[in-house]
Structure 1
Amino acid sequence: MRGLRPFPRSFRARGAALAAFVALAPLLPAAVAAAETLKVDTALPYVCALPSGRQPVTVRITAAFPERAATGEEIRPTDVTTTVELPAAAVADLTTLGAATVRAESRLTVGMVQNERRAEATWSGTAQSVGVPAEGPLALTTTGDVPSLTTDTAGDLVLTAGNLALDLAPSTADGAATTPPSLSLACAPDPDAEGGTPLVTIPVATGAPGTEPSPPPTSPTGPSSPAPSPGLPLPSLPPDRTSPARPDTPNGTSGTPTGPRTDQREDRGPRAADADAPGAPGARPAAPPCVTEKPTPMSLSAYITGYSNVRKLNGANIIPVSCVLIEQGQAEFVVRPDGSMHLLTPSEGFLSYQGRKETPPFKATFLTFGFAPTTATLVLEQTGPMTVDSDVLLVFPDNISETYVRVPLVLRVLGVEVNGTPLDVGPSCRTEKPLTSHEPDPAKYPGDHLVLLGKGRLINGTDAVGYLLSSGGPLTGEVTIPAFKGCGTKGESLDRLLTASISGPGNHVKQIQGQTCNVGVEEPTMENCTEDLQPRQVPRPER
């Protein structure tokens, strides 16, 4: 990306791509009948590094796969769950922290082998908070969208389970974060287990008219009764924007057989809707203007969206597509006392909507007190500086990235309807202070603010996985909604009603940032920017 060179080219994200795979030409033949599905449910032995030491755990994976596929046909795992059965020792580690509940996020590496060619994908999942037992084991089940894949070569495609990263966010009985606020567990298949860690084998046949269907695949659980395919239409994705489309092939790729590839939808976070992509409807989704008035060579812009839980109302409201303008700071190379090498890049930013530092207005609908349908029109208003601190740990071959986004946001209520009847909240209804998160470095970052964390990995010579400021991705956090003030008119205060209905801790936030547009460089990367220098990519929210 021109104008952004905080690390060597081999370490940078290539545009909107996330998977380390070369695109193949999908040639879906109409004559090949739709395959039925095979349901996989397998329990695999793993070893996890816990605070109390290495412990054996069981990882149970369920998913549905097509029984067979044709070359060029999209293979999409569905109904994927990953359940980690933590032993009593791991539960003791949580109770020692005073944890009453815990929320989990998982990242499972899945290997793909076909005709001695290999590739990898990451299956990511999240889970709602569950109670921590006083003793005994604990099962944590995560779910989420996973990458689809295609291959242009016939032959058995074998999927195997690899390393698993499990991030735990424990909370005390009153909803506060523990100290430390998170635990990250690194798990790997048990090297002493017999039979390895296979998930499924999918026969892939040449997609030509008259091709005989291949025999059904096998799985570690043995034969399974096939279930009818749901037959839902699968959305097509734009090609890798880092490699300009070639006009001599159906989807702009070279067509050279290079093995399986994936659509890293969950890892990448946003799925771009690009007006220039083949097969796109001709225009990107609606998005507010995102224009940098006086750009510098380090100016970036991006769209964000996502979801935020409202724990008291047992629901979630959408964070609307919003513009963020970012000024990237100077990257600094640092060697720490332990010998680790880091690339630190500080940046600042602000929301931008019609000249104000806020999101566009958005509506959230809940059942207040469990029975009254209530719709509120809301705005998130930025009340102080937004800081974006990126830290890339340089280790060969994987370079680990962590990015903290900190921003003070006040929640303003513009209007409320209860069961269709307007409730006058007045012109000044808002939270009495900014939304708050646990701050890992309060001495450096005092005050009330939201904290979001994005984790990524830059694989030497290939692409990025997870979140990077330049390429975007998912950022997550947990927020406390403060009490409300200034709500109501004509001497009737609604502060206590809104506070009782909405305010409180433990509200999970998942924000998706799109690919940035490098606005201020002499020749902007037009794969990432529109002609009028706005972000080309409009992300979609993910739960």
Structure 2
Amino acid sequence: MRGNRTAASRPSRVRVRGAAIAAFVVLAAMVPAAASAAGPQKVEAELPYVCALPSGERASTVRISAEFPDRAERGEAISPAGVTTTVELPAEAVADLTALEAATVRAATRLTVGVAQGEAAAEAIWHGTAQPAALPASGPLTLTATGDVPTVTGQGHGELRFSAGNLTVDLTPGAADGTAVGPRSLTVSCSPAGRTPEGGLLATVPVGADAAEPSGSPSPPDASPGTPEPSSGTPRDRQGDRAPEVAENPAGSAAGRDAPPCAYTEENPFGPLSMNAYITGYSNVKKQKGASLLPVSCVLLETKEMLAEPDENGNFVVTIKAEGELHHEGRKQSPPFRSTFLSFGFVPTTATMVLEQTGPMTIEFASTYVGLDIVAETFVRVPLRLRVTDLEVNGVPLDVGSGCRTEKPLRSTDPDPANHPGDHLVMYGKGEQKYAEDATGYMLLTGGPLTGEATIPAFTGCGGGREDLDRLLTASVSGPGNHIKQIQGQTCTPSAPVFETPESRGQCTEDLQPYQIPVAER
């Protein structure tokens, strides 16, 4: 289904300090990574870095591999493919994690990549996630993260130059079975060390019909008098070069893409001062040894409580508590989605499913103000039951009946079980915002990644009264250790067109739906 996507102005990159939204992810079909252009350049770079660990600054190694197109036309969006960021942290990092009683660690990376054309420049953020890794008994810790990256568009003639910059690594400690040992992650900031003469250059991509072949050194832009003037608001250097355009996410933010309706209506329980947002993401299905995609879904949310108080270090902490719900055709559920796996390694099984919300979704967002900077942590808790509506095994339709579902909601290990009892999914996000800079990681209004891990319960009621399919589905899907990564888009506040501020401008389409439709990241 496609919502009415009449767009307002393109959203600005919002800098915000409050309000709330989030959600979830579980099963669906795999999708391939974006294909690279013909004749790609294969890049394998090994760079020296210095990483700030709790035990001090330590020399580390970062290896970056990717494929870039061999050339591009002016105005053509290009995207590096097959991007991996491998971080080799010294033995001191292992000791720091062991001190947190960790046996495993999961990593998420954010690599700042400088993009320049002539003297004009911009920055892109390459996000990556790594599978859980066991801490070595001795020696360095090596983590390899993968993920899709934003597109870059050259605005003039001449080479686009991609250079590696600062790197942030979020480390989530875990027990031997991969479950989290605590709610907090360890953030490690890394900077390039001992710059090479090329300045961390990864690749160059010639832009324009007369561009030179790719090389390891920059070349000046084409100063053709026929180059058009940039549109209003486009950064320019002192010679008039237009900065390369970097998309906000791998597929950009554009109205008109397929998405279910997601707007306030009279039958919704939340008022016109509530917010809405789109979410999507991936989940590992451990038994199937694969990743699954949840289609773009709508979440509505309303703030219930706001607290402000100092912490033990004298920093100001603002905590926002909110409640939310999934919204699809007036029901608290996701849109239907299909997933195909090779059950037991050889039997193709395709199911059509929905995720049903069976209780309150709660969001707790705590932002700590350290001087003029902000560090934020978010917990989302929601009980979700997985319902199967159709099933095919090896191409043969099987009648699952109308009551085929997990016998209980999906279950995570909650870091605060005394105050949050019962079976529910827990998602966690962390974000930072430096003064006068864009936020990184997860912030409630701008969105971003949330992660979690869930146990999928056994199935019940499957078979339509003719045959018992409970054990087939349970054996194929149910079990612990299913890692989840959700991406939330920027929120829409329906009141923004009335009470518009620089922070809210461009969040919504004219019919009060979220402007930004996120793209799932592995």
Whether TM-score is above 0.5 comes out as: yes
SS of match in other structure, 2:475: helix
Q: Aligned partners of 1:324, 1:449: CA distance in 2, in Å?
A: 17
Match of 2:384 among 379, 384, 409: 409
Match of 1:533 among 509, 512, 518: 512
**Residue 251 to residue 111, structure 1, CA distance change in 2 (3 Å):** closer
Q: Does 1:542 align with 2:515?
A: no
**Residue 153 to residue 402, structure 1, CA distance change in 2 (3 Å):** farther
**Residue 375 to residue 115, structure 1, CA distance change in 2 (3 Å):** closer
**Residue 388 to residue 271, structure 1, CA distance change in 2 (3 Å):** farther
Q: CA deviation at 1:303?
A: 2.1
- Let me know the Cα RMSD of the aligned residues: 3.7
**Residue 158 to residue 377, structure 1, CA distance change in 2 (3 Å):** closer
Q: Does 1:143 align with 2:143?
A: no
**Residue 70 to residue 415, structure 1, CA distance change in 2 (3 Å):** closer
- What are the superposed Cα offsets for residues 205-233 of structure 1, whole Å, 9 maximum, x if unpaired? 7x5xxx7434643169xxxxxxxxxxxxx
1:310-459 paired onto structure 2 within 5 Å: 310-329=285-304, 331-395=306-370, 398-459=373-434
Q: Aligned partners of 2:512, 2:50: CA distance in 1, in Å?
A: 49
Q: Is the 8 A contact 1:426 1:488 kept in 2?
A: yes
What is the one-letter code of the residue matched to 1:273?
Answer: A
**Residue 386 to residue 375, structure 1, CA distance change in 2 (3 Å):** same
Q: CA deviation at 1:140?
A: 1.7
**Residue 460 to residue 261, structure 1, CA distance change in 2 (3 Å):** farther
- What are the superposed Cα offsets for residues 147-200 of structure 1, whole Å, 9 maximum, x if unpaired? 23345466776543222222234544444333467443332233x566585124
Residue in 2 that maps onto 1:519 = 494
Q: Does 1:257 align with 2:240?
A: no
Q: Is the 8 A contact 2:451 2:486 kept in 1?
A: yes
Q: Aligned partners of 2:305, 2:99: CA distance in 1, in Å?
A: 41
Structure 1 portions without partners, runs of 5+: 1-8, 15-33, 221-248, 275-282
Q: CA deviation at 1:83?
A: 0.8
Residue in 1 that maps onto 2:109 = 106
Q: Aligned partners of 1:112, 1:320: CA distance in 2, in Å?
A: 31
**Residue 309 to residue 186, structure 1, CA distance change in 2 (3 Å):** same
Q: Aligned partners of 1:154, 1:270: CA distance in 2, in Å?
A: 23
- What are the superposed Cα offsets for residues 269-313 of structure 1, whole Å, 9 maximum, x if unpaired? 774331xxxxxxxx4424245443265353111222222221101
Q: Does 1:218 align with 2:211?
A: no
Q: Aligned partners of 2:388, 2:178: CA distance in 1, in Å?
A: 24
Residue in 2 that maps onto 1:278 = none
**Residue 424 to residue 296, structure 1, CA distance change in 2 (3 Å):** closer
SS of match in other structure, 2:471: helix
Residue in 1 that maps onto 2:43 = 40
What is the one-letter code of the residue matched to 2:513?
Answer: Q
SS of match in other structure, 1:435: coil
Q: CA deviation at 1:107?
A: 0.8
Residue in 2 that maps onto 1:198 = 200
Q: Is the 8 A contact 1:384 1:407 kept in 2?
A: yes
Residue in 1 that maps onto 2:23 = none
Q: Does 1:59 align with 2:57?
A: no
Residue in 1 that maps onto 2:132 = 129
**Residue 255 to residue 484, structure 1, CA distance change in 2 (3 Å):** closer
**Residue 445 to residue 318, structure 1, CA distance change in 2 (3 Å):** same
**Residue 285 to residue 173, structure 1, CA distance change in 2 (3 Å):** same
Q: CA deviation at 1:125?
A: 1.0
**Residue 358 to residue 251, structure 1, CA distance change in 2 (3 Å):** farther
Q: Aligned partners of 2:375, 2:99: CA distance in 1, in Å?
A: 29
Q: Is the 8 A contact 1:71 1:151 kept in 2?
A: yes
Q: Aligned partners of 1:174, 1:52: CA distance in 2, in Å?
A: 26
Q: Is the 8 A contact 1:106 1:164 kept in 2?
A: yes
Q: CA deviation at 1:435?
A: 1.1
Residue in 2 that maps onto 1:500 = 475
Q: Aligned partners of 2:414, 2:176: CA distance in 1, in Å?
A: 19
Residue in 2 that maps onto 1:272 = 253
Q: CA deviation at 1:340?
A: 2.0
Moved more, 256-265 or 380-389: 256-265
Q: CA deviation at 1:41?
A: 1.9
What is the one-letter code of the residue matched to 2:343?
Answer: T
Q: Aligned partners of 1:44, 1:449: CA distance in 2, in Å?
A: 42
Q: Is the 8 A contact 1:91 1:133 kept in 2?
A: yes
Residue in 1 that maps onto 2:27 = none
**Residue 324 to residue 250, structure 1, CA distance change in 2 (3 Å):** farther
**Residue 175 to residue 157, structure 1, CA distance change in 2 (3 Å):** closer
Q: Aligned partners of 1:193, 1:305: CA distance in 2, in Å?
A: 38
Q: Aligned partners of 1:411, 1:138: CA distance in 2, in Å?
A: 37
What is the one-letter code of the residue matched to 1:12?
Answer: V
For this pair of structures, how many residues does the alignment match?
Answer: 473
Q: Is the 8 A contact 2:43 2:203 kept in 1?
A: no
What is the one-letter code of the residue matched to 1:540?
Answer: V
Q: Aligned partners of 1:349, 1:469: CA distance in 2, in Å?
A: 13
- What are the superposed Cα offsets for residues 72-129 of structure 1, whole Å, 9 maximum, x if unpaired? 5545433322111233443455566675654322111223456666543221112233
Q: Is the 8 A contact 1:300 1:327 kept in 2?
A: yes
**Residue 75 to residue 520, structure 1, CA distance change in 2 (3 Å):** closer
**Residue 166 to residue 286, structure 1, CA distance change in 2 (3 Å):** closer
What is the one-letter code of the residue matched to 2:243?
Answer: P
Aligned identity (percent) is: 54
Moved more, 157-166 or 380-389: 157-166
Q: CA deviation at 1:502?
A: 1.2
SS of match in other structure, 2:476: helix
**Residue 163 to residue 397, structure 1, CA distance change in 2 (3 Å):** farther
Moved more, 459-468 or 79-88: 459-468
TM-score where L is the length of structure 1: 0.75
Q: Aligned partners of 2:235, 2:52: CA distance in 1, in Å?
A: 41
Q: Aligned partners of 1:393, 1:261: CA distance in 2, in Å?
A: 34
SS of match in other structure, 2:211: coil
Match of 2:260 among 260, 268, 287: 287
Q: Does 1:185 align with 2:158?
A: no
Q: Aligned partners of 1:343, 1:166: CA distance in 2, in Å?
A: 25
Q: Is the 8 A contact 2:122 2:246 kept in 1?
A: no
Q: CA deviation at 1:387?
A: 1.4
Residue in 2 that maps onto 1:473 = 448
**Residue 185 to residue 512, structure 1, CA distance change in 2 (3 Å):** same
Q: Aligned partners of 1:297, 1:340: CA distance in 2, in Å?
A: 33
Residue in 1 that maps onto 2:166 = 163
Q: Is the 8 A contact 1:424 1:489 kept in 2?
A: yes
Q: Does 1:49 align with 2:66?
A: no
